[in-house]
Structures are given as structure tokens and as C-alpha cells.
A and B are shown apart, each in its own frame.
Chain A
Amino acid sequence: MRRGISFRLTVLVLACSSLIFCIILGYNYIISRGIIVRMAEEKGDYLASNTGQRLAEVFSSVSTVVDDMAQSLENGALTEERVRRMGGQVLRNHPEIFGTAIGFEAYRFDPYRKYFAPYHYRMNGGVVSTILGGDGYQYFYMDWYQLPRELGESIWTEPYFDEGGGGALITTYSAPFYREENGQRRLVGVVTADISLGWLQDLVSGIDVCDTGYGFLLSRYGAYISHPDSDLIMNETIFSRAEELGLPDLRELGRRMRKGDKGFVELAGFQGLESVFVYYLPLPMQHWSFGLVFPKAELFADVSRLSSVMSGMGIAGIGVLAGLILLLSRTITRPLRLLTTAAREIASGNLDLQLPEVSSRDEVGELAGSFQTMRTSLKSYIADLTETTAAKERIESELSIAREIQMGILPKLFPAFPERSEFDIFASIEPAREVGGDLYDFFFVDDNHFCFLVGDVSGKGVPAALFMAVTKTLLKVVAETGLEPGEVLAKVNDDLAEENDSCMFVTLFLAVLDVRNGEVRYANAGHNPPLYVQAAGAVEWVPSACEPMAGAMEGMTYSTGTMHFSPGDRLFIYTDGVTEAMNRDSDLYTEERLLEDIAAHPQASAAEIIREVDAGIKTFTAGAEQSDDITMLAMTYLGTTSAK
């Protein structure tokens, strides 16, 4: 009962609603994050393209200026004055240009000067010029000169710190210029313009991304051009950073950015730093790339907060739900538990227990009502049963008394007449039920006449027993008047048939033995013909006149037959309980078997032969239920006291 309905219901509903809630929450969270990520991408896109556009504007205007200068230097005279003037002019006209130099190939400008590179630059609000070049400044092997020279095209250099003026971050656009000489196109020199990148750095560092997010700019080779940590600028590349921090993912990002990819990637937490999203985008003009860092926690702060609140609400809600379910199921299980306890009480026998009140109009209320009904029914049923049982017991006890009475009226003392040696008589009776309908009797009519009889009342049980008692009494009374057997039966028949509403009848065989000469006079009212066993061993049925059984109809007449017994002759009388004894296969014992049995024991005494037959019947029936009363009477005539 511990894992009862309450518990199961609560757990089930809880689990389901939790699951549903989790699914909803999870979905919401994922979608929200997706939305935010998309928004971040859009922002990144916008910022990056904005920056890129600004960059492009500035850079393209500068490159145009320089290309124009190169063009102009390819034509026209190459005088020092012109060259110098050009530099100054450019600076005056283009405020965004920081400095401009025109470097010539060795000895190209002046056959005596290996190095000649006039350089104009801004200083203190004005324009200053100088000539670069010397053993301490072999510009031929510097990127701004060497790259366009070797690559044969205009280039932007990697950003670098200007050692001369103020340590600003500079990048230089260099364009080679050529002239035809002796039919060949030969490099004359390289013209450059420097621009400061301070404005760019300011632009990028001014980008507002969450609270702790930032933008950064990488050069061609992944060097940091702009980064919140100014120590990194041009000192570290994204790759050296990755090595220092031990982050292969960062190196991978750097490679992608260098390759010119665009994307949105998540970088797992660095030691001490949190997870971030990086949106990266190439700025194709200089092969630079732009990155926007969104701290993951900040980005999702709103979503996380929302989810937390939703979770809290959900948990609270589920808690309330659980409480309600628990409460509701209690209203179901409480009465059930009470009913259970009551049921156990009733089962232990307490039928008068007052069942618990269940007033609810639902299934549980109905159950309680049924319980009540059941209890009442049980009570009355048990009362009836008790009464019936008592009655049954009463009847049984009465029946056993009746049996005693019935058996009591039959002569059972054997040997019955020890002082008379003219005959030997034995009888046995086994009623099928407590009381039966078979009867036998034997008595002396007078000193010389011995009457013995067997009867079988139709039916069994108490009715037959009552009829049997009446019949036996009548027979004795009438027989003692000394009438012939036939007359006796006729008289008894009339008496029985007179007040016989129940239509009971009785088969009878009555015989009187004259002990002096062995004459046996007999009459048969519908009874099984007895067996006459001669001393010598011959066995035969006593013929019957087929006169009707007694009690059926008044006015019947019965004939009297005569047999002459020699000493040792015997008469075996029985009821149909013997011949109709059935075994389990419903085979009958039959007259034939009886005859065989009798014939097999010619020398047996009356008692012995009856016991033999009885044993034979028992063997034959082999435990099958006795269906009819079994009665046997054997009378052996021994003759007068002359020695055998």
C-alpha cells in the first residue's frame, strides 16, 4: 500500500507535466538562443561592413592618390624640385595621408647617390621633408620598397609602429613606377603614402558589443591591429595568442580568418575566461579580417534569465499541481483505506461493524454503498445458513435416532433361538440411507410354526421407513392369528391399501415353517423369488405367482405355496438391493451372480452364506455408492433332533 494510488498518480502526473514543461522550456531556450545568435550575426555583419566600408573609403582614396603619383612619375621630368614638390602637394591636399616618400633605385636618380628617397611628413601641424637612405637605412630591403619591387605591383604593407613620429600604427601603400629604357621596362622607384591607423583603432575599439564584448582587427598574418589589450597590438598574432593560451581552437579560427572565411563560431572557455562567440568577416581590401567577440554568458543573459524565471515558475507550478493531485487522490484513497480496514474487520467475522460514511457522489461513494449492501446481504445469508445448518443438524440427529428406533424394531440377536435346534436363521440389513424401507421379521406363531418374512417398501428414506414400521407391525399382528400366508398377505394388503394416499407399496415374501416336518408354506406379494437351496446342492428359484405388491389396491387375493424341506435345505430370501447392486460401470449384480454365489457354498451356515454374499456384493460394487437397501435372510432347516 505504500506505492498507492496517491503516490502513483502524483508521480505520473508530475513526471508527465515535468517532461512537457522541460520540452517546452528546452525548445524555447534553443530557439531563443538561435534568435540571439542570428541577431548577433546581423550585428556583426552590420558592424563589420560598416567598418570595412570606412576602411575601403579611406584606403581607396589613398591608393588612388599614390597610383596617380606613380603615373605622373612615369611621365614627365624627374627633377629633384618636381619630386620634392609632389610630396608636399600631396600632403597638403590629402589630410588623411601621414607621410609620403619616393624612393629611387640605386643610383637611378643621381649616378653618384646610391640612396635617394625624399620623404615628406607631418610634424607639429606642418609639413617637413627629409631624404631617406644610407648605410643605416638600406631601404632597398625594406618591405615598403622591396615588396612592390619584387612583386611588381602596388601593395599595402603590414601595419607597423612608426618609430620616428609618436609611435602611431601606420600602414603604407607603395606603388612601383617604371620607365621604358632601351626598349625595356625598368623599375625607376617606388612611391608611397603612409596613413595612420589610429582612427581605425578608435573605430574598432569604439564598437559596442554587450558589456564585455569587443571587436578586433587582424592583419594579413593574423597580427592584431586593433584589440582592447593594447599590448597585443602588432606584438602578437592570433596564432601566438593561441599558443600562449594553449587553445588549438583559436589557432583554427585564425587560420579561417586568414583564409578569408566568414563565419560565426563558439570558442570554449579559456582558463579564467568564459565561453565566447566570435563573428568573423574578411575585409578583402588588405586581406585583413574583422572579428567580433560576444561573451556567451552576456549574450544569453536575457535568455538565461528568462529561462530561469520560467523554470522557477514551472517548478512552482508543478509543485502546486503535485499538491493538488495529492489532495485530490487523498479524497479517493482515504475512503478506500477506510473501506479496506472495514472489509478486513468484516472478513474476520464482525458483520455488525458500522461501515465508514462516504458521502461523495462518485465511484468511491458507490463502492461504499455496495459494501453496505454486501454486508447486509452477507449478514442475512449467514443467518439463513446458520438456521439451515441448525435445521439440518437437527434433522440429522433426528434421523440417527430414527435409525436406532428402526433397527431397534428388527430382531438382531443371533443366534435368535438358541434353545431351538430345528432350524438356523440369520438375517442382515443395510439401509442405503440413515433409515431404510427394507424389513424382515421372524417369530413363532405357535410352538410348532415359525414365521419368517422379508419385505421391501417402494422408496427409501423416512417415508419408506415409516411405511416399513407400519407394515412390519401389521404383519406380525395378522400372522400371529395363524392365518395362511396368502391370507395374511391379503389382510395386510387391504389394511395398507385402505389409507394409502401416498401410494406406497411393499413387496413381501412371508413363509411359515412347520418345524416338526419341514413343511414350508409361503406367499409372495410382488417380491423377488427367493432361492431354495437343497442340502444336496441343487439351487432353484422359488416360483412366483406374480401376485401384486401389497398396499397398491384393495381386494387382492394371494395364493399360498408349499415346499417340503429336508434337513439341510435352505431358503435364501433377499431384496432387490442385492441383485440391483451397481458397480461404478453401472453393471448390476444380477440374479445370476447371486445364484452362482449361493451355489458355490452349499455347506455354509445361514450366517456364513449371508456373509459370503455380502462380501461378494462388496467386492463387486468396489466402493460405488449404495443405491438401495440390502437385506438378506437365510433359513436352514435342520430337522428334528435326530442325529445327522
Chain B
Amino acid sequence: MKIVNEMKGACMLVSVEGRMDALTAPEFEKACADFLDQGKTNVVVDFALLEYISSAGLRSILASAKKLKSKGGDLRFCGLTGMVEEVFRISGFQAMFTIVPSFDDIAGS
């Protein structure tokens, strides 16, 4: 799983590529923890290149979101496609998180 992050204005744009499962999810959690340490609590995750997500992946998203929120930040998502979008829908995550089609939509708000 590849994680590429880029400061875009006030937001940290994080692109995740590959599969997020029990093996790779901790990397995502750690990345978010790093952002937290750096004070970048406004994180937007781009899942356009994410092929697969398991419940372990969902857990780490949830855990990271909780930590960021407790420090006044937020975890938002964009670029959901395919199976990942399906999982988000079924699991009800879309009800818990802000999900937009692409990053530009966020910039607007």
C-alpha cells in the first residue's frame, strides 16, 4: 500500500493506493498519527487508487478519525470508487463521515 501526502492549503491531502487490510492498515494509522503530531489535523483522504478495504481498514480509519476529531481536526474522504465505495455504503460509514467525489469539492467549502 502506498501513501502519498501533500499539503494543499490548510488541508493535508493523503492519497492511498493499493489494498488496506489487516497488514497495511497500521501504516495508515501511523501516517495519521504523524500528521497529528505535526499539527495537521485537517486530513482529506483520496481513495481513488484504493482497490480494496477490509474491516481492519475500516477500523483504522475509525481510530484515526477519533484521534483527529479529539484534537479539533477532521477526516474526510474523496475519490471513492468500486468496492471501496460499496463497503463505505453498506457499512454506513458514509453516514458517519464527510464524503465528496473529489478534492476540489472540498476546496470550495
A residues contacting B by CB (< 8 A) are: 456, 458-459, 503-505, 507, 525-529, 544, 546-549, 552-553, 556, 576
Cβ distance A422 to chain B, nearest Cβ, rounded Å: 31
Are A505 and B90 closer than 8 Å at their CB atoms? no
> Any chain A CB within 8 A of the CB of B66?
yes
Are A548 and B96 closer than 8 Å at their CB atoms? yes
Cβ distance B73 to chain A, nearest Cβ, rounded Å: 16
Question: Please, how many residues of chain B have a CB less than 8 angstroms from a CB on the other chain?
Answer: 16
> Any chain A CB within 8 A of the CB of B91?
yes
Residues of A within 8 A of B93 (CB): 526, 548-549, 552
Residues of A within 8 A of B95 (CB): 546-548, 556
Are A458 and B92 closer than 8 Å at their CB atoms? no
Residues of A within 8 A of B58 (CB): 458, 505, 549
8 contacts between A and B (CB under 8 A): A458-B55, A458-B56, A459-B56, A503-B62, A505-B58, A528-B90, A544-B90, A548-B92
Residues of B within 8 A of A529 (CB): 90
Q: How far is the CA of A81 from the CA of B56 in the complex (A)?
A: 162
Cβ distance B30 to chain A, nearest Cβ, rounded Å: 15
Are A552 and B90 closer than 8 Å at their CB atoms? no
> Any chain A CB within 8 A of the CB of B7?
no
Q: How far is the CA of A529 from the CA of B86 in the complex (A)?
A: 12
Contact residues, B88-109 vs A (CB, 8 A): 89-96
> Any chain A CB within 8 A of the CB of B76?
no
Cβ distance A554 to chain B, nearest Cβ, rounded Å: 11
> Any chain A CB within 8 A of the CB of B63?
yes
> Any chain A CB within 8 A of the CB of B40?
no
Are B96 and A458 closer than 8 Å at their CB atoms? no
Are B96 and A556 closer than 8 Å at their CB atoms? yes
Are A505 and B62 closer than 8 Å at their CB atoms? yes
Are A548 and B91 closer than 8 Å at their CB atoms? yes
Q: How far is the CA of A529 from the CA of B22 in the complex (A)?
A: 23
Are B59 and A503 closer than 8 Å at their CB atoms? yes
Q: How far is the CA of A318 from the CA of B60 in the complex (A)?
A: 82
Residues of B within 8 A of A576 (CB): 55
Are B59 and A459 closer than 8 Å at their CB atoms? yes
Q: How far is the CA of A548 from the CA of B96 in the complex (A)?
A: 7
Residues of A within 8 A of B63 (CB): 503
Write the chain B residue with the least CB distance to A525: B92
Contact flags B64-100 to A (C-beta < 8 A → 1, else 0): 0010000000000000000000000111111110000
Write the chain B residue with the least CB distance to A503: B63
Q: How far is the CA of A459 from the CA of B56 in the complex (A)?
A: 6
Cβ distance A573 to chain B, nearest Cβ, rounded Å: 14
Residues of B within 8 A of A504 (CB): 59
Dominant SS among interface residues on chain B: helix
Cβ distance B60 to chain A, nearest Cβ, rounded Å: 8
Write the chain B residue with the least CB distance to A507: B91
Residues of A within 8 A of B62 (CB): 503, 505, 552
Q: How far is the CA of A546 from the CA of B94 in the complex (A)?
A: 8
Q: How far is the CA of A306 from the CA of B14 in the complex (A)?
A: 99
Cβ distance A161 to chain B, nearest Cβ, rounded Å: 129
Residues of B within 8 A of A525 (CB): 92
Cβ distance B64 to chain A, nearest Cβ, rounded Å: 9
Cβ distance A462 to chain B, nearest Cβ, rounded Å: 15
Cβ distance A508 to chain B, nearest Cβ, rounded Å: 11
Q: How far is the CA of A458 from the CA of B91 in the complex (A)?
A: 11
Are B66 and A503 closer than 8 Å at their CB atoms? yes
Q: How far is the CA of A552 from the CA of B62 in the complex (A)?
A: 7
Q: How far is the CA of A440 from the CA of B22 in the complex (A)?
A: 24
Q: How far is the CA of A458 from the CA of B63 in the complex (A)?
A: 12
Q: How far is the CA of A577 from the CA of B40 in the complex (A)?
A: 37
**Residue among A544, A547, A548 with the highest chain B CB neighbour number at 10 A:** A548
Residues of A within 8 A of B66 (CB): 503
Are B59 and A458 closer than 8 Å at their CB atoms? yes
Write the chain A residue with the least CB distance to B69: A553
Residues of A within 8 A of B56 (CB): 458-459
Cβ distance B20 to chain A, nearest Cβ, rounded Å: 13
With A503-B66, A556-B96 known as contacts, the answer to whether A549 contacts B59 (CB < 8 A) is no
Q: How far is the CA of A507 from the CA of B90 in the complex (A)?
A: 10
Are A459 and B55 closer than 8 Å at their CB atoms? yes
Residues of A within 8 A of B94 (CB): 546
Cβ distance B92 to chain A, nearest Cβ, rounded Å: 3
Nearest first, the 8 closest Cβ-Cβ pairs linking A and B are A548-B92, A526-B91, A458-B55, A503-B63, A526-B92, A547-B92, A503-B62, A546-B89
Are A546 and B92 closer than 8 Å at their CB atoms? yes
Q: How far is the CA of A576 from the CA of B58 in the complex (A)?
A: 14
Residues of A within 8 A of B90 (CB): 526-529, 544, 546
Residues of B within 8 A of A456 (CB): 55
Are A552 and B89 closer than 8 Å at their CB atoms? no
Q: How far is the CA of A525 from the CA of B58 in the complex (A)?
A: 14
Q: How far is the CA of A576 from the CA of B86 in the complex (A)?
A: 13
Q: How far is the CA of A456 from the CA of B62 in the complex (A)?
A: 16
Q: How far is the CA of A552 from the CA of B92 in the complex (A)?
A: 10
Residues of B within 8 A of A507 (CB): 91
Write the chain A residue with the least CB distance to B94: A546
Q: How far is the CA of A576 from the CA of B55 in the complex (A)?
A: 10
Cβ distance B71 to chain A, nearest Cβ, rounded Å: 16
Cβ distance B33 to chain A, nearest Cβ, rounded Å: 13
Contact flags B34-70 to A (C-beta < 8 A → 1, else 0): 0000000000000000000001101100110010000
Cβ distance B28 to chain A, nearest Cβ, rounded Å: 13
Residues of A within 8 A of B91 (CB): 507, 526, 546, 548-549
Residues of B within 8 A of A544 (CB): 90
Q: How far is the CA of A389 from the CA of B55 in the complex (A)?
A: 31
Cβ distance B24 to chain A, nearest Cβ, rounded Å: 15
Known: A503-B66, A505-B59, A527-B90. 5 other contacts (CB 8 A): A459-B55, A526-B90, A546-B95, A548-B92, A576-B55
Q: How far is the CA of A71 from the CA of B90 in the complex (A)?
A: 160
Residues of B within 8 A of A526 (CB): 90-93
Write the chain B residue with the least CB distance to A529: B90
Q: How far is the CA of A505 from the CA of B95 in the complex (A)?
A: 15
Cβ distance B5 to chain A, nearest Cβ, rounded Å: 22
Cβ distance A585 to chain B, nearest Cβ, rounded Å: 16
